[in-house]
Amino acid sequence: MCDSFVVLPNRTANGVMLFAKNSDRERNEAQAVEFHPAARHPGATQLKCLYIDIPQAVRTNAVIISRPCWMWGAEMGANEHGVVIANEAMHAVTGAPHTPALTGMELLRLALERADCAAGALSVITQLLERYGQGGNCGHLNPFFYQNGFLIADGREAYVLETVDRSWAYERVRDQRALSNAYSIEADYDAISDDLAGARFDFAARFTDLDRDAQSFGRGRCARGAELLAANAKHNARSMMAILRDHGREGQDPSWAPERTLARTICMHAGEGLRRSQTTASMVAEWTPNGLQLWFTASAAPCLSIFKPIRFGATVPKDANPLSDRFDAAARWWRHEELHREALKNYPETIAALAPERDALEARFTADATDIGACWREADAAEARWLARARAASGLAQGQAFAQSWRDHNRLAGIPDAASARA
């Protein structure tokens, strides 16, 4: 489950486009923020994707991506030309393609590596989709099959692309747009695949699986996102971060805690039962006069995280070891998980204590992101203080099923007992 947003320059405070995404995956599915430089490849080279091999491009762009640790593809990212893309799982009445092919995350990364504008990225995805198809298991510990939707932007224009097997429709964004895990393009698409051409029809109405949507609450989250976008006539990077932290109207109550609701919110927290997904990484993009400015949490739970700056031409902070689904105290994503999982034991107290410092740090970072390394070090130090404070907080009584679901995942990840003693 994911949520993505774009706001065109006429709706922003600084007259520049803004983009944001929460990536929702399973709770131990660590997500790496990575820089991959531009490269040239010999002719006839094959690129090994998760399930199939395809011909490699002669030249690939430099990209910054957020990638689930066990996949080649990416949940979101940007390239050196200022193209930014996010993908969404879609559930169609025709069912999900199980035959191994390209995954939606691979289509996203391939478009970033091969396109120099949003329209070009749209073309890369639709051509690869028609040639190779999409499909294969995209779940970490639990099988998960789905179709894909994409939000694509380049600072000048933006598109929503929604797919069903090898078919597709796209719509150019006017003003602003939210996209979640539900088909949203109606009869006003700007183009549609040849196999669906003919009399205009409501794309979303034809393909939406209403039963799956009732589980994922995709249309509801999309409506909530659209409401939050519309509520602000002049968005900036920090207002987009705030949207990614939204827990719905219930979440505005200071006593709100993730275990008290079964709802799937934009800032999503996993729990027992069907809510396996949670927000495992978040990104905001801003096309400034000085170039594309990116902000990544590089951690789960944006409400408990700090958005930190990244841009092309600067060193992207990285861990010493490759990320995996096993706890690594040296890895930033896993260090934050200690804080995240401690915070769930008394969420109201923890969030009340850390939110003012979180917001103050982001206010400084967005005002001056010149020294990227210093921003990341300062954020790391703040999270270390928050972890100590969360461990010292009084734990609240938790529901047995909720607490057990976290104990099970802590054990699977190998999180030390000291980090989860009160789970």
Catalytic residues: 2
Task: Kindly report the backbone phi and psi dihedral angles of residue 304, in degrees, each rounded to the nearest multiple of 5, phi listed first.
Answer: -110, 10
Residue with tokens 């999180």: 415
Q: Which of 23, 28, 25 is nearest to 328 (CA)?
A: 28
- The rounded radius of gyration (Å) of the Cα atoms in the chain is 20
Tokens coding 306: 């700090």
Q: What is the largest CA-CA distance in the chain?
A: 64
Q: List residues bridging with 235 in a β-sheet.
A: 12
- Contact criterion met (CB below 8 Å) for 306 and 357: no
Task: Kindly report the backbone phi and psi dihedral angles of residue 302, in degrees, each rounded to the nearest multiple of 5, phi listed first.
Answer: -60, -25
For 58-188, strand residue ranges (E) read 59-60, 63-68, 76-79, 84-90, 147-153, 158-164, 167-172, 176-179
Give the whole-angstrom CA distance, residue 369 versus residue 359: 15
Give the whole-angstrom CA distance, residue 72 versus residue 52: 11
In a 3-state reduction of DSSP, which class is residue 212?
Answer: helix
Q: Residue type at 193?
A: S
In a 3-state reduction of DSSP, which class is residue 296?
Answer: strand
417's CB contacts (< 8 A; 6+ apart) are none
DSSP output for 54-92 = EEPPSEE--EEEEEETT-SS-SEEEETTS-EEEEEEE-B
Residue with tokens 């400034």: 288
Count the alpha carbons within 13 Å of 402 in the hemisphere toward its beta carbon: 17
Tokens coding 85: 């893309």
Q: Which of 340, 359, 348, 243 is nearest to 298 (CA)?
A: 340
Q: Helix, strand, coil proportions of the chain in percent (round to 5)?
A: 35, 25, 40
257's CB contacts (< 8 A; 6+ apart) are 344, 347, 348, 396
In a 3-state reduction of DSSP, which class is residue 18?
Answer: strand
